[in-house]
Structure 1
């Protein structure tokens, strides 16, 4: 691999991740402004501010650590009891954290008569705002996969013949050995199939891919087959009899085994074949299901990753990885010896997968993640609906600052898991190159 190409791959992933984060926060910002919430800041990254500029009431900027982002909305939670003259929370570490969270929230509250606080919105509007970020990541993944499948295309063995074996060599022969007069001619050569021929049908069955033709041939050893090819603009009918040979065959489960099948001795031209416009979104949804399965088992997966790192065992290639691991994979994809379109497709696929991960991860129903805010809004709605059903006064808005201790534990857990993944990606990384 070349160092420059590796660095370029890492840099492209960082830029792509920054764009993904920016769009995620834009998914929160646009509906928030649409519903009248006062948004004080829209920031990409954390830490010291590198650049910012104010447009209207919102400050837009970039911070030093590009590992996330946020928007600052007025009144995420209702005013604290102390703000309403009800006294402060009691002593203790977590009680102090709750009071600090309430004080920070009180500083963002818009004037009482403006009704521009987040907590004052109806339940469905709060849910829309909080889901806007993850949904934006999902939509970006749809677009990226659509570019891969429908724009670039999938490398597929086409019906155009690339080469025809002159003879048949046994498994014990040197594959680079030249054919001799003693070697039997391949069935394809005997039938007169030539490089450049385009397969039209095999045994009366029209074929659109080389895989379809191969399936018929492999299932028909020692059986004469009519093969119709297009050559120089005209169709020709040829007779070919596949011979019985041992070849590696990939099953429906993806496993490659050795089996006795029909063999004629020809290879196909590989080209990028564009798929339907729905192929990209379908791939994104399939991967969403896979990532959801990983997220559901995340603590166990992290534990296994840590154990593999300590014992030196090879990691699960389908397991979780940190941004460091994703950057390494991006560098490998960019520097591998392959056509440029393959590398572009690989980088886009990696970025699309990261957006799928962001979508699923942010839906976890725990604060401070978006899914946690959705649960708070829904619980508020349930309480109001219950009170209305039984003719009771409307309850006070749910005070999510009481969940700060739980949020603290979740944040610590996320930091620990992130640290384990980063360390594993340095010490025992997942590699495309083996």
Structure 2
């Protein structure tokens, strides 16, 4: 089941990549750009088939994909395609990029090159790929949240902790360490099944809101509960919340902002029930937005994750469960989901939710304004459009396209950094993988 889960999730990732490239392909064709190649993967081609003027295929290394559009890079001003006579430390690279951009050029393609499209059309073509990932993520989240449902904490007690243990010292065992005091909930007489009607004189519909109130509470707190046995009558229990070291609710945001991982907060020792509840379509939009916010925070924190990755790979340090994961690692996580002993519906929902989260990350990562990512093509098109508008307003001639070829040395530098970072993450996923707590 582990192997089957890895294979199925890897196929899901390949579909996500193909779906991304399909967005670029459809938009390019819509604006008359010729697309000679549509490939999923890199390296040697293991399968290809010609359909019309495009060769569709799969390559050996499934770490991405691409479409080849004619004339991605404009020729140098006043120069035909071919080698220039200028020299410089990067001129050979720039000339090679220009030549590669038109290597499939054939008579009749003069007006079908990518660089000849209007700036807004090029922006649409480059944005269409990430946008397809966003659409796929929204559809997957819709299936999971509306079709399957997700565990939703309710103000009903599932279990009562026996003793107080700081979050940084918590273990998976249920035994209390020597000298650990009993929890306030155990002292007050809470039992599994108690429905909390009010906490300190106020009622709460969600456990999350009540959790915030618990952490801010102090002194003597009356709690009204309904106990299912013997007659479901309401009763009042008296709590004396204890101030301890407690885990932050949003660890990623805390790490990014430089705040401590643990803070002081009041603790009771209650765990809520978490029944699987189907959400409404309106809640899906909010959920996708929340996931996008978390993904943005994680992406901004990527450079700061390098020391932890290095320590996990070469120093045997514990892997950060909130750190970056490669396509190798996330496929293994998908395999672990299918190999767990949970209900089949729960396993399917978890895999779809994981794939949706990957697509949200693909959407945001590809919009970064650096070459060779899609955002690195969008930014020059925006700049070109602004220059054209300013020139038109000032009555000056069209300044022409942005010379993308001159940015290629920077693009190659970023590509090397991305490959090195990705290689480090893949290595971490092999030698020190993240494990799901299923």
User: Under a length normalisation based on structure 2, what TM-score does the superposition of the two structures give?
Assistant: 0.76
For residues 101-112 of structure 1, what are the structure 2 equivalents within 5 Å? 101-109=97-105, 111=107
Corresponding position of 1:119? 115
For residue 369 of structure 1, the aligned residue among 368, 373, 381 is 373
* CA distance in 2 between partners of 1:325 and 1:351 (Å): 12
Give yes or no for contact 1:51–1:61 (8 Å, CA) kept in 2: yes
Question: Does 1:354 pair with 2:349?
Answer: no
Cα offset for 1:295?
2.3
Question: Does 1:240 pair with 2:235?
Answer: yes
Give yes or no for contact 1:49–1:62 (8 Å, CA) kept in 2: yes
* CA distance in 1 between partners of 2:347 and 2:341 (Å): 9
Name the SS for the 2:102 alignment partner.
helix
Query: Higher mean Cα deviation, 141-150 or 411-420?
Result: 141-150
For residues 339-350 of structure 1, what are the structure 2 equivalents within 5 Å? 339-350=343-354
Change over 3 Å in CA distance of 1:146–1:346 after alignment to 2: same
Q: Which runs of 5+ in 2 are unaligned?
A: 165-173, 177-187, 250-261
For residue 311 of structure 1, the aligned residue among 304, 311, 315 is 315
Corresponding position of 1:424? 428
For residues 1-400 of structure 1, what are the structure 2 equivalents within 5 Å? 5-80=1-76, 84=80, 88-91=84-87, 94-109=90-105, 111=107, 115-156=111-152, 227=226, 238-242=233-237, 253-254=248-249, 270-400=274-404
Query: Higher mean Cα deviation, 333-342 or 37-46?
Result: 333-342
Change over 3 Å in CA distance of 1:58–1:104 after alignment to 2: same
Change over 3 Å in CA distance of 1:273–1:257 after alignment to 2: farther
* CA distance in 2 between partners of 1:397 and 1:209 (Å): 55
User: Under a length normalisation based on structure 1, what TM-score does the superposition of the two structures give?
Assistant: 0.77
* CA distance in 2 between partners of 1:328 and 1:226 (Å): 43
Give yes or no for contact 2:329–2:433 (8 Å, CA) kept in 1: yes
Change over 3 Å in CA distance of 1:41–1:187 after alignment to 2: same
Change over 3 Å in CA distance of 1:294–1:205 after alignment to 2: closer
* CA distance in 1 between partners of 2:377 and 2:267 (Å): 59
In our comparison, the structure showing a higher alpha carbon Rg is: 1
CA displacement, residues 279-330 of structure 1 (integer Å, 9 cap, x when unaligned) = 3332222222222233233233224321443332223221212222212322
* CA distance in 1 between partners of 2:306 and 2:60 (Å): 28
Change over 3 Å in CA distance of 1:397–1:161 after alignment to 2: closer
Cα offset for 1:37?
1.2
Change over 3 Å in CA distance of 1:300–1:208 after alignment to 2: closer
Cα offset for 1:425?
1.8
Corresponding position of 2:185? none
Corresponding position of 1:413? 417
Count of residues in Structure 1 that have an aligned counterpart in Structure 2? 404
Name the SS for the 1:242 alignment partner.
strand
Query: Higher mean Cα deviation, 101-110 or 6-15?
Result: 101-110
Cα offset for 1:202?
7.0
Give yes or no for contact 1:221–1:242 (8 Å, CA) kept in 2: no
Corresponding position of 1:178? none
Cα offset for 1:147?
2.0
Query: Higher mean Cα deviation, 286-295 or 24-33?
Result: 286-295
Give yes or no for contact 1:157–1:269 (8 Å, CA) kept in 2: yes
* CA distance in 2 between partners of 1:213 and 1:287 (Å): 22
Q: Which runs of 5+ in 1 are unaligned?
A: 176-185
Cα offset for 1:83?
5.4
* CA distance in 2 between partners of 1:8 and 1:20 (Å): 18
Name the SS for the 2:90 alignment partner.
helix
Name the SS for the 2:398 alignment partner.
coil
Name the SS for the 2:41 alignment partner.
strand
Give yes or no for contact 1:150–1:275 (8 Å, CA) kept in 2: yes
Change over 3 Å in CA distance of 1:51–1:307 after alignment to 2: same
Name the SS for the 1:84 alignment partner.
coil
* CA distance in 1 between partners of 2:11 and 2:428 (Å): 23
Cα offset for 1:358?
1.1
Q: Cα RMSD between the aligned structures?
A: 4.2
Higher strand share: 1
Cα offset for 1:82?
8.4
Change over 3 Å in CA distance of 1:205–1:372 after alignment to 2: closer
Name the SS for the 1:278 alignment partner.
helix
Name the SS for the 1:326 alignment partner.
helix
Query: Higher mean Cα deviation, 335-344 or 403-412?
Result: 335-344
Change over 3 Å in CA distance of 1:354–1:226 after alignment to 2: closer
